[in-house]
Structures are given as C-alpha cells and as structure tokens.
Structure 1
Amino acid sequence: MAKPSVNPPSAPATVESLTPRGRKTRDSLIGAARTVFEDVGFLDTRVEHIAQEAHVSYGTFYRYFESKEEIFYELSTRLFEDVHHHREPSESAGSPAEKLIASNRAYYEAYRRNARLMAIVEQVATFNEDFRLVRQEHRRQLTDRTARAINRWQRDGRVRADLDPVLAARAMAAMVDHTLYLWLVQGDTADAEALLDTLDSMCLGALGLGQG
C-alpha cells in the first residue's frame, strides 16, 4: 500500500509485541476506521478523522499504523476473511448441489453484512494499484478453492467433464459477485429469495447439476 503523507516518528509496533491494552486500542482504531470509511469514503478519510472516532490522539494512530492505506488494508483483509470464509463448497455430507447452494447463501449473508464496506473496497481497487493486486489475490484464492471442488465433482462423475474447472469457477464467481454488488450496493430492486434461487439455478445449470 502507499506510504503515508506524514512520516511517523518511528515504525508502528507489531501486533505480536502489543500488550492486551495495546491490542484493544489497535482494534478500536480498526473499528473506528471502518465507521469513518463507510461514512465519508476512502478519499475523504483522514487519519485525524479515524483518531477522533476512536477517541485517541493523532499521534496514537501512528503507534499502530503508518497510514490510512495501511489500516484500510488491515480492515479489508478482515472483510475478505469474513466474506470468503464460508464460500468454498465443503467436503461434508450432502450432494454437490446442496453444498453449492449452501455456499452461495453463506456468501450472500456475509456480503449483506458488509455491503457498505464492500462498495468502498471495489472503488479503491479501481484506482489503487497495490490494493487492486490484493483484491485480485483474494478473488484468486476463492476461485481456486471452488475450482478444486468442481474438479472433485468431475472425478466423481457429478459435474460436466467438458468444463474447465478454473474458468467455470471464475465465471460463476463473477456472476454472483456482480449480481450482489448491483443488488446490495447499487440498490437494484429484487425479491431476495427469487434472486437467490435464480443465482443457484444458473450455477447448478452451468455445471450440469440437479437439485439432488
């Protein structure tokens, strides 16, 4: 991420070196940063805004983070972990169709919880090259996991053998991601259950999976 415009007097402390109180302050700054970013956007956010929201001094911020870019990176990493954690179709009991539907629904719930921050993340990725690469890496990890599940189902004879697992995973992720973005961020109107059922049906149809 980009370096701060004002250099702190010393490098921020590492998480491992912090006391419990220090970790609490750091987490408070991250929570405050989320509030400010969601309220005014990335470009208009200043370090002093975050410090004020967290009820700490300007200098205290720099004990933990070098810049607003660094704290945004930390916040986004936590966001990605929340949104993508349950996205991979599991190897637990259930048919491939049931696993895929459960994965889509879990992703929807996480996206809905984080829609305001997701909007800012997608915006920043359009003009910050470093963060665009970070966003791409998180997408790659997601689609790679889905591709492995598709490949597993192909070996079991459950999914169309003519599909490229990686391309199929990317195409499905793009469809679901963009649909949820237009719906939850841009405000497109749709019946929730009908839209989710449609996304599920399109994913299942693309893979040649039945509902059972």
Structure 2
Amino acid sequence: MPEGAGSTERGGRPPLTERGARTREKLIAAAREVFEERGFLDTRIAHIARRAEVAYGSFYTYFPSKEAVFFEVADRLFAEMTSRADGPGAGASPAERIRHANRAYCEAYLRNAKMMAIVEQVATFNEEFQELRREHRATSIARTAHALRRWQRDGLVPDDVDPELTARALAAMIDHSLYLWIVQGDDPPAAERLLDTLDTLTRRALALPAE
C-alpha cells in the first residue's frame, strides 16, 4: 500500500482485541515522537512503524494514513491543552482564577511545545485539521464565555462585555503570546513578567479588581 493511502478519517478502524489496542497505542506514541523529531511533512509511515516496532503493513490495520494518526495525536494534545485544571478553590476571586488558569495553560504549552509548533504548521494547509482545531478551541471558548456570563450575573463584569467575543479575543491574546515566546523563541524579559502582564490585561479587559 502506498505512503499515505486511504482516507484521513480520524483514528481509522478501532481495534477489537486487547493486543490490538496496545499496538494502536504504541503507534500513537511512536507517531508523536517522530512528528516532534521530523515535523509533519518529513515524517513517513515507515518511520512511525519502525519506531513502534510494528510491521509497515500492520500500520494500516489501525490507521488509513499518516494524517489519520496525526489527527489522533493532535486530538489528545488539544484535549490536554483545553482540559479544566483543578481550580484554586471554591472561594477564589475571579483574579485568582485567571491567574491560575493562565499558569496552568502555560505549563501545558511548555510540556507540548514541540507538538504545538507542528500543529501551527499543519493548520496552514490541511482544512480537515483546521476543523479539528476549531472544534477544540470552541469548547474552550464556550467554557470561558460561560464563566464571563456568570460573573456578569454576579455584577463583577460589565453587562456591555460580549462574553463569547471577549473569550475569543482573550484566548487569541494568550495563545499568540505563548506561541511567540515558547515556539518562536521570542523571549520576554522574564516568564513570570509575561504571565503577570497577561493576567493584568485580562482583568482590565473585564473591569475586574486585582484581588
């Protein structure tokens, strides 16, 4: 079967046995390692199969293409990046929640910096992957917008703030700032200073107190 044959359907046909499930997980782990080392364009199915110690032809039992295994890797990456981290506590102020969320997201970005760089690469030319990324981004934005509406009901955020558009704008600011710093190497004077600045800009955009 030629390189990249088959559709890019996410995940391919699921395995039916415990052994098959283990093999599929080995392929996913190996794919991430190879993508991080070689990038998406230079990665070949042969590289992934060899890293996973799986026969080349066996790859197609679990994934129809290189794109399909990449989508599985990226899907898990996005789920980790947008997962709800343990909060600072029930009585925490909005400012404390913003500070905690920004640092948790930064830590996740640092853990996944190599894959985040490749995600940006693939998003420039693969429309199906762009849709996957939009789906995960929409989940995160909806959660932030929900929090903003709750703060509006509590009288903490002005009523003229559009929750969804504000959530999108704040996410774009934080994402791009971290991308330039962590992926592009545009180092700020100090990491903590950058995060403090993002906290401050977020609070001021929402007219929230510092504490």
Q: Post-superposition shift, 1:86?
A: 2.6
Confirm whether residue 129 of structure 1 aligns to residue 102 of structure 2. Answer: no
Query: Unpaired segments of 5 or more residues in structure 2?
Result: none
Q: Is the 8 A contact 1:84 1:142 kept in 2?
A: yes
Q: Post-superposition shift, 1:89?
A: 7.3
Q: Is the 8 A contact 1:33 1:71 kept in 2?
A: yes
Of 179, 183, 193, the residue aligned with 1:181 is 179
Q: Post-superposition shift, 1:6?
A: 2.9
2:201 matched residue in structure 1:
202
Measured in 1, the distance between the counterparts of 2:41 and 2:105 equals: 28
Of 23, 26, 46, the residue aligned with 1:28 is 26
Alignment of 1:42-57 (within 5 A): 42-57=40-55
2:77 matched residue in structure 1:
79
Measured in 2, the distance between the counterparts of 1:143 and 1:166 equals: 7
Measured in 2, the distance between the counterparts of 1:82 and 1:76 equals: 10
When normalised by structure 1's length, the TM-score is 0.91
SS state at 1:138 partner: helix
Confirm whether residue 14 of structure 1 aligns to residue 17 of structure 2. Answer: no
Confirm whether residue 109 of structure 1 aligns to residue 107 of structure 2. Answer: yes
| CA offsets 1:34-69 (integer angstroms, 9 cap, x no match) | 111111111111111100111111011111111110
What is the one-letter code of the residue matched to 1:173? A
Moved over 4 A (4+): 87-91
2:91 matched residue in structure 1:
93
Q: Is the 8 A contact 1:89 1:100 kept in 2?
A: no
Measured in 2, the distance between the counterparts of 1:188 and 1:118 equals: 15
Q: Post-superposition shift, 1:5?
A: 3.6
| CA offsets 1:111-134 (integer angstroms, 9 cap, x no match) | 110011011111111100111111
Q: Is the 8 A contact 2:88 2:100 kept in 1?
A: no
SS state at 2:42 partner: coil
2:170 matched residue in structure 1:
172
| Percent identity for Structure 1 against Structure 2 | 54
Measured in 2, the distance between the counterparts of 1:164 and 1:119 equals: 31
The CA RMSD over aligned residues, in Å, is 2.0
Alignment of 1:116-155 (within 5 A): 116-155=114-153
| CA offsets 1:85-144 (integer angstroms, 9 cap, x no match) | 036978833111111111111111001100110111111111001111111111111111
Measured in 1, the distance between the counterparts of 2:38 and 2:84 equals: 30
SS state at 2:36 partner: helix
Query: Unpaired segments of 5 or more residues in structure 1?
Result: none
* Alignment: residue pair count: 205
Inter-CA distance 59–88: structure 2 relative to 1 (3 Å threshold): same
Q: Post-superposition shift, 1:189?
A: 1.1
Measured in 2, the distance between the counterparts of 1:53 and 1:202 equals: 44
Inter-CA distance 156–50: structure 2 relative to 1 (3 Å threshold): same
